[in-house]
Structure 1
């Protein structure tokens, strides 16, 4: 794979080459500073001053060129407006057509300018990361703190420009007016929801959103999927390949996601009763629920590796294993065996194909649909999480057929076994294995689908910047781009080949984001898994009442994401929302403690709602920031960023469920406080860690 500097140069617009960030020069300077500090000819303070001045000059060059080009575009629009006004008394069809084409040409040039800014933004982020790697993560903190919020900040001009919106508005308004409206007096301001008449405007708006981190509901929701892209935006002329796209296959992947989440949470309201009926303690429900997560720790790895070769076969295997697991879960009652119950849940965890579902979206769904598909993946998970407990609440019956018992404990297993059997038949009939010809001819796609075209939901500067060195190539001056102090150049762009090598790529910022993900999954699992035991002990809730409570929590996911994605994320920076959400999770945990007697239903419900909703908000911004700060080497291969986050969350669930079972030995009266204490400590730790790395989340 080519070095970043070479790739950066290849994607530059030729006539503007002199105005791009001089990445090669700055990279050489970083190496020189390191050598000078080693031999003692420079101190760190002088290096910071010198490099800051150089970076300021580079940014000023970019910004002045940006303003100059904006002025030229504004002048062209002003001249076109004069022609437009001259046409109003006696409109001519051919002249109107020519004028519309002229406005479109301005739009295309504006898109080129945005592409220019986007590449420079990625280059700036990357050189800051490279400097930090050399000098201990200090420079970005200093530079961003002193430059980003200054009233004369040129750094902000690169990431959040003023003036682009006015140019976009002028182009779109005039194109709208030139469209034949059959005498209508309405404008775009009267019907802002109407689709724009030319795709170039949509492309421009998408580019502006990527640069400003502006988002919407679908975008914010899709971030939860953590489908990572390459670090650089795709060239404007590139088009998406649709050959591998098959809607029914995508639908089957989303159905697999939905059913798996239903399967995970359908046992939560009844797991304690099931454990008691088999002679175990009620708190063994933690092990019953967590057994699925234990197996998922391993299944995520082999399913991720398997998806390098096929999607159909792992989905078939997943369905069969889940069918068998649910049959064992249901039979455990009549066999009176807690071991069979746990084996059944382990089988269910071994059938977790979420890695395949996520990989299929990044591999085989075209860019124009990928955001919707990613949002569908998250929505399917959220709906499954809500439907699982709700379905358990309806399965309140008790009868026998021959020697098989069907009651509220066993019916979740029987129902899910039938569901997976139906799904398996549907899968065999309708799934279409996508062609791998393109991946065989393309190194990046062979290594991982998540390094595909970048013009999508999480592309451009939303992507991680490499913390490793570049490929061992020589530049135009005959100098090698990497040096001895960095890891071997030939491995610098290779995907991680093991969990250990993936761990080495984790910077402090990435580790903190994974800690946050661990924390929120731990806190949510404690809340959900022990809900049946806690509510039975304190409030004597029935299974149906617990199921309704859990279903209501699950149903908050989509409304919360609508509010955050459409409004809050456009009002505040992701890192600000991150800290606020962590604090709210901490408050939710604190309010859940049983300190004052009696422990009331309003206290439990309100604290649980605050904790769950805050954790949902936190998950969205956490994964968005994780994709931004994570090395692009972790966007490819089996051991990718999605797998690491999945493993962090799954391990959190395993530990949380184990904590519930261990705390059960202290008695039900102490269960709540004992299990909440680790949540509180981890939450406080994550807040402190976030504050320490706050400026690196820029």
Structure 2
């Protein structure tokens, strides 16, 4: 495991080293500021100004070099353009091929420049996060607010690389024209544009999109999976495929994801009727639906830990538990026991292997396929969410075989039990267990005191960190002999290990990450209230049948992919993620307010429109929120049992549990009050998330 500072240096282009951000120097300054504030020789105001000035100087060096290199590339492309124009008058095959190679070489140099900008942007973002965590106040908020929005902003040059787009366009257009198009005169600007096959341009476009966080549909959809990527870009020449990848095993993981989501939502339209048939209140459906989420709070942890050693065995266990759980769910009708029903749903929750599915994509899918696999993971979840209620609408029948009843209440259990049995057989004969990498633990050559100090720094505690004699000798022994280096901190292995418990993972959360998790909690809470109480609310107000409720829920689920196409392909490229985040929260708030039954008789259009507004806004919010979360979350949460995906899953699952419990408790006050009482907590948590977002808005940069 290599420290961030060392990785930063390894990824640098050697001849450009003097123009990169001085990350080690900045880290050393942060440590010195801590000591000076502790002994009282500096105040915080002076520290802010001094560190800002240092950052300004660093950014100016980067930007001026960037502009210089852009000018060199532009001049070079202009000369190639004259050559290209001459060849159009007198074409020669050999010279066309030579010109094409010259443009490709320019493209490779442009790719180097884009990587230069990206590495600096990552280093800048990292040092801002480190400063905030070390001092406990919002320096990033101050710096971004004063620098990013200024008309002469150099910070925008680093993050938006103004001007490089023109160079990208020039190389792309000319290489496109030099392709063998069999007489076609279409250019890259024509619609529909012809696909460009040249790999260097595809690499350049990918680098531009990654740097500007520009997205397409697949990219935006993949962000929902919260599979945290490495902070620094992969080396340009790194195209090695992961030998752990097995296509059919990935398909089995996606199938598990799909079936689990079908299993979750197939009972939503009939849960209230099933509860009534067993002698319980209709609002007990909240507990029936939420029982699965309660168990998932625990299953997510042990499945995540289990996936450190195996992927096959937890998937087998998951399938068996879900098969048994659905069987109990179906048998509860003939046994006439609400407790058997709840036990069956609890077992289904204990079979949730989504942590395994996510870990397999993160650990075993090659980087070049990971975005598509992540998008497929989210698509499988969305499709399962839509198919569950739709399947329930088709199971409207009633017959008996011996003493077993098959009706709209029991058939979801029987159908899913058979589905999991078929899946288990398919899994047993097809899944290929990948070799598990044993993570090497590099024992540092330094003293234990230094390691303890470094771990303390990474955790962001407020006590001063004084340089010891061991630290000084370590710096002298460093192979770089770089006076700007605080190597003792870099080399502490403990500071780079994955979190080993929920508590240690929580300590890694900065205020902005906590706000992102609060937003995720809010949107899952609001969506669960909408979905889980839909059958009770619509039956009470509109006398909807089970089929009508199922169709409504299926239609909500079917909006997921179209909404992500629109947001991922268009909206996310027109506005910043933080702008979309705040706007989506406000739209969720409007949807909640529209849902209340206050002054007028409750109508179907009001319910459908408000539900659609809440669901669609929450869906947009989820993608943008997880995109930002993956950028502001510590890299130590990208791997291991207690990873970022687990934390977000736990936040969402706890939200679902509380929402379902709220529905059941509110039911004791009567169905006439159920709607407004369950919407009140949604309103409060939504307003809280909006206020928190405004508080951390400038740190989401």
**In the alignment, structure 1 residue 89 sits paired with structure 2 residue 89:** yes
1:564 to 555, 564, 567: 567
Alpha carbons 2:530, 2:611 under 8 Å: kept:
yes
SS of the equivalent of 2:399 reads strand
Counterpart of 1:462? none
Counterpart of 2:582? 579
Aligned mates of 1:660, 1:110 — CA distance in 2: 57
Alpha carbons 1:126, 1:466 under 8 Å: kept:
no
Counterpart of 1:176? 176
SS of the equivalent of 1:492 reads helix
The TM-score normalised by the length of structure 1 is: 0.94
Superposed, 1:604-615 pairs within 5 Å as 604-615=607-618
Which range is displaced more, 58-67 or 128-137?
A: 128-137
CA separation of 1:582 and 1:304: change in aligned 2, threshold 3 A: same
Which range is displaced more, 625-634 or 36-45?
A: 36-45
CA-CA distance at 1:163 after TM superposition? 1.7
Alpha carbons 1:564, 1:617 under 8 Å: kept:
yes
Aligned mates of 1:96, 1:51 — CA distance in 2: 52
Counterpart of 2:445? none
Aligned mates of 2:636, 2:293 — CA distance in 1: 27
**In the alignment, structure 1 residue 497 sits paired with structure 2 residue 495:** no
Which range is displaced more, 137-146 or 219-228?
A: 137-146
SS of the equivalent of 2:496 reads coil
Aligned mates of 2:518, 2:595 — CA distance in 1: 22
2:640 to 634, 637, 642: 637
**In the alignment, structure 1 residue 660 sits paired with structure 2 residue 658:** no
Q: Deviations over 1:502-546 (max 9, x none)?
A: 111111111111011001100100000010011111111100000
Alpha carbons 1:386, 1:551 under 8 Å: kept:
yes
CA-CA distance at 1:86 after TM superposition? 2.0
Aligned mates of 2:586, 2:62 — CA distance in 1: 38
Alpha carbons 1:129, 1:466 under 8 Å: kept:
no
**In the alignment, structure 1 residue 440 sits paired with structure 2 residue 445:** no
Alpha carbons 2:321, 2:348 under 8 Å: kept:
yes
Counterpart of 2:448? none
**In the alignment, structure 1 residue 369 sits paired with structure 2 residue 355:** no
**In the alignment, structure 1 residue 45 sits paired with structure 2 residue 38:** no
Counterpart of 1:268? 268
CA-CA distance at 1:468 after TM superposition? 5.7
1:506 to 496, 505, 509: 509
Alpha carbons 2:186, 2:193 under 8 Å: kept:
no
Alpha carbons 2:148, 2:155 under 8 Å: kept:
yes
Aligned mates of 1:204, 1:587 — CA distance in 2: 41
Counterpart of 2:538? 535
Alpha carbons 1:175, 1:197 under 8 Å: kept:
no
**In the alignment, structure 1 residue 201 sits paired with structure 2 residue 206:** no
CA-CA distance at 1:429 after TM superposition? 2.0
SS of the equivalent of 1:558 reads helix
CA-CA distance at 1:190 after TM superposition? 2.5
SS of the equivalent of 1:239 reads coil
Q: Deviations over 1:446-484 (max 9, x none)?
A: xxxxxxxxxxxxxxxxxxx9776999863525798378x
Aligned mates of 2:6, 2:678 — CA distance in 1: 52
CA separation of 1:235 and 1:106: change in aligned 2, threshold 3 A: same
Which range is displaced more, 469-478 or 230-239?
A: 469-478
Aligned mates of 1:478, 1:194 — CA distance in 2: 53
Aligned mates of 1:292, 1:482 — CA distance in 2: 48
Aligned mates of 1:427, 1:370 — CA distance in 2: 22
Alpha carbons 1:283, 1:664 under 8 Å: kept:
yes
Counterpart of 2:312? 312
CA-CA distance at 1:188 after TM superposition? 2.4
Alpha carbons 1:129, 1:467 under 8 Å: kept:
no
Q: Deviations over 1:44-79 (max 9, x none)?
A: 222111111111110000001011111111111111
Aligned mates of 2:148, 2:328 — CA distance in 1: 58
Counterpart of 1:121? 121
**In the alignment, structure 1 residue 687 sits paired with structure 2 residue 687:** no
Aligned mates of 1:37, 1:487 — CA distance in 2: 23
The TM-score normalised by the length of structure 2 is: 0.93
Counterpart of 2:165? 165
Superposed, 1:214-253 pairs within 5 Å as 214-253=214-253
Superposed, 1:61-72 pairs within 5 Å as 61-72=61-72
Superposed, 1:6-85 pairs within 5 Å as 6-85=6-85
Which range is displaced more, 238-247 or 49-58?
A: 238-247
Alpha carbons 2:24, 2:484 under 8 Å: kept:
no
Q: Deviations over 1:132-159 (max 9, x none)?
A: 1232232111110011011110000001
Q: Deviations over 1:290-312 (max 9, x none)?
A: 00001101110111111111111
Which range is displaced more, 521-530 or 36-45?
A: 36-45
CA separation of 1:303 and 1:516: change in aligned 2, threshold 3 A: same
1:647 to 627, 647, 650: 650
Alpha carbons 1:466, 1:632 under 8 Å: kept:
no
CA-CA distance at 1:609 after TM superposition? 0.7
Counterpart of 2:450? none
2:486 to 481, 488, 493: 481
CA-CA distance at 1:605 after TM superposition? 0.8
CA separation of 1:303 and 1:441: change in aligned 2, threshold 3 A: closer
1:598 to 601, 619, 627: 601
Counterpart of 1:297? 297
Counterpart of 1:449? none
Which range is displaced more, 597-606 or 665-674?
A: 597-606
SS of the equivalent of 1:375 reads helix
CA-CA distance at 1:174 after TM superposition? 1.3
Counterpart of 1:350? 350
Aligned mates of 2:8, 2:440 — CA distance in 1: 19
CA-CA distance at 1:92 after TM superposition? 1.8
Alpha carbons 1:364, 1:434 under 8 Å: kept:
yes
CA-CA distance at 1:441 after TM superposition? 6.7
SS of the equivalent of 1:224 reads helix
Aligned mates of 1:442, 1:429 — CA distance in 2: 32
CA separation of 1:535 and 1:564: change in aligned 2, threshold 3 A: same
CA separation of 1:44 and 1:361: change in aligned 2, threshold 3 A: same
SS of the equivalent of 2:683 reads helix
CA separation of 1:30 and 1:600: change in aligned 2, threshold 3 A: same
**In the alignment, structure 1 residue 338 sits paired with structure 2 residue 338:** yes
Counterpart of 1:146? 146
Alpha carbons 1:328, 1:341 under 8 Å: kept:
yes
RMSD (CA atoms): 2.0
SS of the equivalent of 2:225 reads coil
